[in-house]
Structure 1
Amino acid sequence: MNLKETNSILYLEKLKNLMLSGSLLSKDTFIVDDLDSIMDSREESNFDKQWIRNYNKINEKRYLINFKIKELIDSIREIAYKITYAFTESSDLAAYVSDDFGLIAEALVLNHNDEWLNTLGKKYLENKIPNGTLNPSKGELRKILLMDNIL
């Protein structure tokens, strides 16, 4: 196992632990007045356009992710789905959140940094479901989301 793979696994394990501990995707994240309006605003062109732009950039390098790391990313997506569904009973919202965490996890592995994606991650740290217009945040996703200046 090379250093890049080892670091990727460490990043993903830390992300997973933040989710399982409730630091990400806590009950507070899902205390909202209108889940339908949140989901609708995620489908508006600005949010959707930025999400797809990041997805496509990551997709160009997805072939670099090995099977072991892909399995770990899948487990993160599954945890995000199950936590969201447990709090909301909304399979649609659970799918959105799972997709977000899949995108975030792949970005961490591929060292994909994007100011919009940084804000997507920040919203989850703030116990909010990202939607609507997200103002760009400078920095590195790993440092923002994992609060990690060491690795």
Structure 2
Amino acid sequence: MVKQNNPFLDFDVTRMVGEFRMPGVDTEALLAAQRRNIEALTKANQLAAEGVQAVMKRQAEILRQTMEEASRMMGEIAKAGGPERQAVKQAEVAKTAFETAIANMKEIADLMTRANQDTFAVINKRVAESMEEVRAVMAKAAEGKTGPKT
């Protein structure tokens, strides 16, 4: 298995933050929160990629089915008999093809919506957690400066 380098995880944030220490602020807690942010972003990107793969796979299946159906329908039109019957059969085929195309578009849109919802759920959850973590660290730092609140 090939190890993939993640520039965000390889970056030495600890060293950088250590140079800019703020008195009373728990930089380790802030760094841990940032690591969780990056992990959530990585998870969201993975979900997005999986969603794109699912859509592409389904589109390929739809294309294959469409080609098979078109071939079958062309045979039915040819066997329909005279020009009038062929015209009626062509209209039926066109109607069926249109209805199938609409159903396929809806299915693809649903797949994309589901993938987007899953991806954004990860990000939204992490943003809320991160804001609470930062608030807690800052409240602790403020409490340290002014002493415990009574």
**Is the pair's TM-score, using the shorter chain for normalization, greater than 0.5?**
no
Larger Rg: 2
In terms of fraction of residues, the more helix-rich structure is 2
TM-score by length of 1: 0.28
The structure whose RCO (Cα within 8 Å, separation 6+) is larger is 2
